[in-house]
Structure 1
Amino acid sequence: MIPFDRNRALDILNNATARLTARAYIHEIGREFSLTPFQAKKVLKTLVEIQDVAYQDLYGSTYVMESFSKPVRITDRFFILPPDVASIAGSNDIDIRISAGISFGSGHHPTTRLCLTALDRLFFSTGPAIHLQGGKAGDIGTGSGVLAMAACLAGMSRCTAWETDPNAVSEARRNVAANGLEDRIKIIHGIMTAQDLRLSLVMANLRFPTLKQIAPDIDSILVPGGHLILSGVRVWEMDNLKTHYSAMGFSIDWEREEKMWGAVTLTKKP
């Protein structure tokens, strides 16, 4: 067997700025481990056989993605797994079932993991957030619906989730149904705008220019003392993001970086 570091091979997918075709992934594997094309193909074959990666057909092309075929622990509490796979979660764990699709939010990308880590911390590691139990949440740019589902499964009573991509809207609704949350999560096909909402928690995994643009709308729907989880930001954008939201009256509670991506949890001052 050709020696290679499995985690480094998967990091190639996580760190890519665009989806990788099999050919492109083989090229990157070869470059990462100094392998011949034949050896790199063998590595890809091994990753497929052990169900770490899978092929995905999208718009007439075939790409490589991390596999959905087995449960994956994302944080101390949250597991992500396919709808038809048996749970391996313990009594204190939370399963989130997601079907493989083209929408963002499988749990493999660093920004999704960071958001779920922030939720885990907010609900299960910080005493002051006990008031979130039973409150209402919002998820801006929901993608697969993973953050909306995680928030409700952690204790929020309801969540309104916005998404502009019609394919993602369809997939998010299927995922919500697979988790039995149809009565608690409302998926809206459209852009989040300022409206008469009183939310205790808002989540947005979006790029920095968008997070800066929608900051006034987020401020308008979040109650004083409410919590805000932001990600989708490159590490070199984090200071600008924190400065912008701090100037609006938000205090920074927690931040973390992973593979050149960052996330931050903030509280709206009373």
Structure 2
Amino acid sequence: MSSSSSRASAQPNDRRWLVIVLILLAVVSCSVGGWIYWQKRQARQEEMQAQRDKTTPSPISAIEDVTAARALANYLNRIRAQVREHEAAYVRLQRSKALAWNFPQREDIEKARQVVRDFLSTNQRLADSLEHGESFIRAELETAKVPAAVRDSVLERYEKTQKPLLPMQQRIRESDDAIGQNALAVLDLLDFNWGNWTRDEATGRIDFPNTITLATFKEYVGKIADAANDRKQAEDDLANYRRDHPTQ
């Protein structure tokens, strides 16, 4: 009797433990499943963030890009300003009496010299800026402390867009230098021989009694004319190149 009673009381206990075990298994299963789901979700979010990082520049990169673009723009603005300054000097040279050799008074020669010197000075400044363009841009980038990769990218852009123009721009600068230097030589010749040359007011022709001096004068004037023609050709070549390469 006692043995039967013990077995009867053990059965409910066994069922309770079974229920408890099943509940624990369910809890563990849910926890593991939730943890696995969380891991997958976290991995997916990290993958999506990595993709966004690849396609969206960071604020620092954007700042670096702006700084780099500004460095190139500063150089190009500098060139444009110097071109305007030099073209104004060229117009003054053309409008003055400096290349017409029309000097009623000897002191007019010195005034003409100053016009030519200004023309040569603006031309030289522009030539220097063009020749050392890469160095100017590099210095600005280094001052701004942009990363080497950004600096190299800007210099590569300069190499691609500006370097092809340089030979034509240098030809113009060389032509203008030849115009100015030979103009000064003519002015020196006229000044040194003041009183020994005449000018035909109708034709503008200059004549010297000394044939050697006259030949020297004509040589200088011929070089000025040749340089002016070279300048025009280089300007046309530059304009044609820019027309065919509008981004430059």
Which has the larger Rg? 2
Bigger relative contact order, structure 1 or 2, given CA contacts below 8 A and separation 6+? 2
Q: Of Structure 1 and Structure 2, which has the larger fraction of its residues in strand? A: 1
Judge same fold: TM > 0.5, yes or no. no
**As a proportion of its length, which structure holds more helix?**
2
Q: What is the TM-score normalised by the length of structure 2? A: 0.21
Please give the TM-score of this superposition, normalised by the length of structure 1: 0.20
